[in-house]
Amino acid sequence: MATLSRLLIQQNKLFLLTFLLLIFLGCTDNKTTVNNYAELGEHKVEKYPTKELKDNYILYYAPKAISPDMPVVFFLEGGGEAPKITHYSGLMHFLASKGYFVIGAESGESYDSTYASNIFEKAIGYVTQEYGLSLSKLAVMGHSQGGGTSFYVMKHFQSLGYASKASLIVSIDGWFSFNMNKKDFQGLNTTIAHIQMNGIKGTGTDPRINLSTWNLAKKSKKLFFTLPHNKHSYVGGNLNSLLTKKDLLYIISALSNDSFTNNDKGYKSIPKQYKTDYKDIVNVLKTKESYPADCAGKSYNAHLQLTLFDIDYCQLK
């Protein structure tokens, strides 16, 4: 009996050790998968052209990852006094390391969004001929003015038959969506992610602008995130700088992977403190007697372009 008891005890210990090992391996694997969203991808990245821009655009890509159906990311710079497209080199390089073909546009010189779409059309003419890309999976991302312009650019290229398999808009501290009417937003069918700096209060790029697009985009899946950093320029910088901004990279990478692989694992893994909702921001805005930011675009003469279209960005439900 003593021998049998010792044997049973040893078997139980072995089972417990095996069980704990499986849990550890499972947790380790899950942790690695989750952490990889904010880590540099496996692909070696090249830039073209290496020095000056080509027709106001620049390319970041991994030669060994190129295939006709690979995901393509358009990135639009901010406008006005914001840095040029090369200032976003870190984020574009990061996205290319994940296996995406990235096209950055020097598009902030005009409030007319067709200026940006024309740059991307030139770029597409080159990359489709040179690399045979289909652009069936497309993400359009931008910062500040570029974030607002992302909506028109996506609408334009969807109308041309691109983004047929996957589409995503990421507006980082986005501004006005020039050249968009209400019906354009209402007909847009994509995933829209707003990323706002300085928490719910924002950095001075009026939150009511993003809330207006949220209300109008009835067909689209809409997500809203806030980050605690109070710098509107947080998204800029070289690769070494960007790799320290894990929160921003995590959100962008997770959502991109979700869109291009048709799942929501990335979104579910994003920490709750970064997720917010339309109602949360509206409630904050309603506590202010007068909101200081400019939802009408008069500060930078943007209202002259906005009057050509029918969206009132100051209106809240």
pTM of the predicted model as reported, rounded to 2 decimal places: 0.87
Q: 311 in a domain, yes or no? A: no
Q: 12 in a domain, yes or no? A: no
Tokens representing 168 are: 């995503």
Domain count, the chain: 1
Q: 35 in a domain, yes or no? A: no
Q: 55 in a domain, yes or no? A: yes
For 262, the domain range is 42-306
Burial of residue 86 (CB within 10 Å: 0-12, 13-18, 19+) is: middle
Strands 72-76 and 101-105 come out as: parallel
Burial of residue 87 (CB within 10 Å: 0-12, 13-18, 19+) is: middle
CATH code for the domain in which residue 278 is found: 3.40.50.1820
Q: What is the DSSP letter of 271?
A: -
Query: What is the Cβ-side half-sphere exposure of residue 54, based on CA atoms within 13 angstroms?
Result: 16
Q: 9 in a domain, yes or no? A: no
Q: 23 in a domain, yes or no? A: no
Chain centroid to Cα 103, Å, comes to 14
- Spell out the per-residue pLDDT of the chain, length 317, in tens: 444 344 434 444 443 343 333 333 344 333 334 559 999 999 999 999 988 788 899 999 999 999 999 999 999 999 865 568 999 999 999 999 999 999 999 998 899 999 999 999 999 999 999 999 999 999 999 999 999 999 999 999 999 999 999 999 999 999 999 999 999 999 999 999 999 998 887 777 888 899 999 999 999 999 999 999 888 999 999 999 999 999 999 999 999 999 999 999 999 999 999 999 888 888 877 776 555 568 888 888 999 999 999 999 988 76
Q: 123 in a domain, yes or no? A: yes
Q: 250 in a domain, yes or no? A: yes
